[in-house]
Amino acid sequence: MKRDGFGSRLGILAAAAGSAIGLGNIWKFPYITGENGGAAFILVYLVCIFLIGMPVMLSELVVGRKGASNPVGSFKKIRPKSKWKFTGVLGVATGFIVLSFYSVIAGWVFAYISRAFTGKLVAIAPEELGDFFGGLISKTGEPIFWQFIVLAVTAFIVIAGIQKGVEKYSKILMPVLLGLLVVLMIRSVTLEGASKGLEFLFKPDFSALTAKGVLEALGHAFFSLSLGMGALLTYGSYINKEEKLPSLALQITIADTLIALMAGVVIFPAVFAYGLDPKMGPELIFITLPTVFHEMPLGGFFEVLFFVLIGIAAITSTISLLEVPVSYVSEEFNMPRKKTTIIIAFVIFLIGIPSSLSFGVLGDVTIFGRTYFGNLDFVASNIMLPLGGLLLSLFIGWVWGTKNAIQEATNEGTLKFAFASAYGFLIKYVAPLAIVVILLYATGVIS
C-alpha cells in the first residue's frame, strides 16, 4: 500500500506548526513564565529554542524523511539491527503519556467552550472565576467526559489520514488563530495598567531565575516544539524529497515562538491590569481570559471564538501526538489504521483518567510531592522529551554522522543550507552536552 503523504508545502507547514502550536503556547508557556518570574525565564527559553530545539527539530525531520517510516521503523531503516530503534520506542511511550494528560487540559478548554456558547461564562463576575474553575476541574464525571470527547475528535481526524485529515484542517484553522491573537493583544495592551505586564514579560530580572527555571525552560522548549518523541519525525516521513527541510524547521520554530510570545502579551498586561497573580499556575489563562472578556465590549462573542481556537490549536497537537503510536503500531504490526487508532485512543483515555482526577478526588494522593498529573507532566516534559532529544542528537552527531544528515537536509547537496556547519556543531556537541547537564539536574544527580 502506498504511504499517505502531505499534498502541499503550505499543508506541511500548517500541520507541523499546528503540532507545535497548542496548549503549550497558550496555556503552559504563560503560566510557567509567570511562575518563573517573567523576562529572564523567557530569555533562557529563547536560547534553548534556537540553539537546541531548532537543530533537534531539523534532525527529526531529516531522520523521518530518510527513513520514510514511523519513529521505530525509521531508525531501523537507517541503522538496521541496532538498538537505535529503542529511541523510537521511547518516543511512542512518551506519546502515550503526553497525550493522556494533554487531553485532560484540552477537555477543560472544551468544557469552557460549552459554557461560552450559552453565554454563561461571560456572565461570571471576575471574583468568582477562581471558584468556578476550581469547581469545574475538581468534578469527577464532567472533565472525564470532555477528555473523552477530545480523544474521540482526535481519533476521527487521525483515521481520516494525513491529507484529508491533518492537512485539511490545519490549513484553515491556524491563520484564524493568529488573527484572533492580534485582536486580543490590542485589547490587552490598551488596558489601563498594561505596561506593568509588558515590563514583566520583557524586562529581565535575573534574580528571579532559578536552576529549576532553567530546567523547565529546556523541557518546555521540547514540549512546545513537539520534539523528543518522534512527532515531527513522523510528519517528516510524509514529506516528499523536494521540500526544503532547514527552512521548514526555521519557519515552524519562529511561528511557535511568536505565538507563545503573543499569548504572553495577551495574558500578562491583563493579569497586572486586573490585579491578578502571575504565579497562580495552571489556572492562569482560565481565569485571566474570562476576566478580560467579562469587561470587554462584545466579550461574549470573542470568548466563544477564542476558546474555540484554543480548542482547535489543541486538536492540531493531539493529532500529531496520536499519530506517533498509531503509525508505529499500524506499520510495524501490520494492523488496520482505523482499528489501531480506536484501540490506542481508548488506552490513552484510560491512562488519562487519574490525571483528570488529580484535580479532584485524587488531589491528595501524591508521590514525590506531586500528584499523578504532576508526575506525568514532570517525567514526560522534563525527562523523557529531553532524553529523546539527547538520543537523537547522539545518533546524528556520532552514529549516522552529521554529513549524512546534511546530505538529506540539502536534498543530496542540491540545496543551499547556509547554516550547515553551525547545525553540525550544535547537534554534535552543544545539544547533547546541554541536555545531559539538565537531565542530571532533573534526576537529582547534581543540584
Task: List residues binding ligand PFF (CB under 6 A).
Answer: 19-20, 22-25, 98, 223-224, 226, 229, 231, 317, 320-321
Q: How far is the CB of 28 from ligand PFF (least distance, A)?
A: 7
Neighbours of 51 (CB within 10 A): 15
Q: Select the residue whose beta carbon is closest to ligand PFF and give its number.
A: 24
| Nearer Cβ to ligand PFF (26/353) | 26
Neighbours of 175 (CB within 10 A): 11
Neighbours of 53 (CB within 10 A): 30
Q: How far is the CB of 25 from ligand PFF (least distance, A)?
A: 5
| Nearer Cβ to ligand PFF (122/166) | 166
| Nearer Cβ to ligand PFF (50/117) | 50
Residue 233: burial class (beta carbons within 10 Å; 0-12, 13-18, 19+): buried
Eight-state DSSP code of residue 370: B
**Cβ atoms of residues 58 and 253 within 8 Å:** no
| Nearer Cβ to ligand PFF (25/59) | 25
Q: How far is the CB of 403 from ligand PFF (least distance, A)?
A: 28
- 304: part of which helix (H) or strand (E)? helix 299-332
> Three-class SS of residue 367?
strand
Residue 368: burial class (beta carbons within 10 Å; 0-12, 13-18, 19+): exposed
CA 59, CA 68: separation in Å to the nearest integer? 14
- Cβ-proximal residues to 261 (8 Å cutoff; 6+ apart), any chain: 42, 201
| Nearer Cβ to ligand PFF (17/431) | 17
| Nearer Cβ to ligand PFF (291/393) | 393
| Nearer Cβ to ligand PFF (54/321) | 321
Whose cell is 503526553? That residue is 98
Q: How far is the CB of 3 from ligand PFF (least distance, A)?
A: 20
Q: How far is the CB of 329 from ligand PFF (least distance, A)?
A: 16
Q: How far is the CB of 257 from ligand PFF (least distance, A)?
A: 11
Q: How far is the CB of 81 from ligand PFF (least distance, A)?
A: 27
Whose cell is 469527577? That residue is 140
CA 143, CA 137: separation in Å to the nearest integer? 6
| Nearer Cβ to ligand PFF (225/292) | 225
Q: How far is the CB of 119 from ligand PFF (least distance, A)?
A: 28
Q: Which of 6, 4, 70 is nearest to 245 (CA)?
A: 6
